[in-house]
Structure 1
Amino acid sequence: MASVKESVSVAMAAYNGEKYIQAQIQSILSQLGPEDEIVISVDPSNDRTIERIEAFGDQRIRWISGPGKGLIKNFENAIRQTKNDIVFLCDQDDLWDPKKVEHVCAAMQDADLVLHDCEVTDASLHVLHPSFFQIHPPTASFRKNILKNSFMGCCMAFRKRLKKEILPFPDDLPMHDQWIGLVALKKGKVKILDRPLLSYRRHQENESSMDHASVLQMLAWRVHLLKALWKRGIL
């Protein structure tokens, strides 16, 4: 008997995303079925992000008002509103491979979270590195991921049941994707898929505070993360 196709939710956080968001949504829509959805949490923006989203006129796309408290809380808002079996995390400025949903859902058959490879590009999608994993080899070791994070949200999908474990995000998290990955390592099975399924667009606007953090700041973040895991009963 053929297995029943699992439904897909895409959780996207958006903020001043008019430049790239239409191309990103277009790369996703063709892979979705009629019961799948894209949930976009839009933080207060001063550009035409919402206009770009509404231009699709597709009932599978649902945008909601973001809390205006930064990227991590914006993602939390999007994830909380998803309803389907498998939740894909999605940035507003990348491009999905046409087979991303197919390959990730296949890998998810015996996993609770899948992390896949991606190619790294510049703002114009010229390839800088064909494999992010070659630059930053991932690991499924919990201890090693405390010290050096392997999990990149735009390359992750997880099962709906993990939502109750990861939400709400602890306050002052440095990285939501690291939190999700660590919880999944303790509460489920993580699979690493050595296949680039995304064009990860690097540009000035998507640099994070992690790119410029001091050693002391990174140490403080990890102590905070361990405390949050302990309080949640993960450790």
Structure 2
Amino acid sequence: MISICIATYNGEKYLEEQLASILPQMTASDELIISDDGSKDETMTIINRYAAQDERIKFFKGPGKGVIANFEFAINQSQGDFIFLADQDDVWLPEKVQTTLSFFASNPKIDLVISDLVIVDEQLQVIEPSYFEYRKVALGFLHNIVKNKYIGAGMAFRGSLKSRILPIPAKVPMHDMWIGLIAAYKNKSALIPQTLTLYRRHNNNASEINTKASFFQQLKWRCAISYVLFKRIFFNS
């Protein structure tokens, strides 16, 4: 069984296209967790319509505290052996789920994977054919504290990792950075080189490809996440 977690907020423009790319890849026993953070557009109308037709969709009212808390809440509801994170505005390629599950089956010691993505514009026209190449993505605990490359839109992990991930500390820069580093600490993460997601960039994305934060803000983030990682790893292990 897999759980796919989507954190929505004012996603009416692209949500249907994402749902249409995900649902055909799910089996009857899988679940699609949608946590909405108080959308003011037609997002809820779309969710309700799909949920009425597909019992695999489980809708929850999110905590209303932003994208990190919304994803944390969605993950907390999940029951799957494998958990996939999904952005509301992307498109999954048809082989994403099966390719990811096959990788996990062939690599039983790996807890978390990140598959490559094609960076596209609003009309799904290619901007960069490989997120990995564009961002020079590499594994490594210290490497990704200094310059994070972990991306939730390409991320999936074993359900057994939930107990180490949750709760997500309030001061981390992003949920995907935290989750990736938790797995990376024990060398339990891996990269899938296939591009399995169309990663859509537009004016209202919740995250940035290249941060606009100042050096001092980034340094503050790194210090904060290093502190909470130290506490979680050494006191909760």
TM over 0.5: yes
Matched residue, 1:40? 34
Counterpart amino acid of residue 88 in structure 1: F
Task: Note the aligned Cα RMSD (angstroms).
Answer: 1.3
Q: State the alpha-carbon separation in 2 of the partners of residues 131 and 68 from structure 1.
A: 33
Aligned positions of 1:84-233 closer than 5 A: 84-109=80-105, 110=107, 111-187=110-186, 189-208=188-207, 211-233=211-233
CA contact (8 A) 1:107 1:191 kept: no
Q: State the alpha-carbon separation in 2 of the partners of residues 177 and 211 from structure 1.
A: 15
Matched residue, 2:54? 58
Counterpart amino acid of residue 205 in structure 2: N
Q: Deviations over 1:189-226 (max 9, x none)?
A: 21111110000000000053773200000000000000
Counterpart amino acid of residue 143 in structure 1: L
CA contact (8 A) 2:119 2:198 kept: yes
Q: State the alpha-carbon separation in 2 of the partners of residues 187 and 66 from structure 1.
A: 31
Q: State the alpha-carbon separation in 1 of the partners of residues 65 and 206 from structure 2.
A: 17
Q: CA deviation at 1:188?
A: 5.6
Q: State the alpha-carbon separation in 1 of the partners of residues 234 and 62 from structure 2.
A: 28
Q: CA deviation at 1:88?
A: 0.1
TM-score w.r.t. structure 1 length? 0.94
Q: State the alpha-carbon separation in 1 of the partners of residues 127 and 206 from structure 2.
A: 16
Which stretches in structure 1 are left out of the alignment for 5+ residues?
A: 1-6
Counterpart amino acid of residue 142 in structure 2: R
Matched residue, 2:67? 71
Q: Which runs of 4+ in 1 moved over 3 A?
A: 207-210
Answering whether residue 6 of structure 2 is matched by residue 12 of structure 1, we say yes
Q: Deviations over 1:79-120 (max 9, x none)?
A: 000001000001000000000000001111212101110000
Q: CA deviation at 1:187?
A: 4.1
CA contact (8 A) 1:120 1:199 kept: yes
Q: State the alpha-carbon separation in 1 of the partners of residues 89 and 190 from structure 2.
A: 25
Q: State the alpha-carbon separation in 1 of the partners of residues 234 and 96 from structure 2.
A: 30
Counterpart amino acid of residue 138 in structure 2: T
Which stretches in structure 2 are left out of the alignment for 5+ residues?
A: none
Q: State the alpha-carbon separation in 2 of the partners of residues 204 and 139 from structure 1.
A: 27
Q: CA deviation at 1:176?
A: 0.8
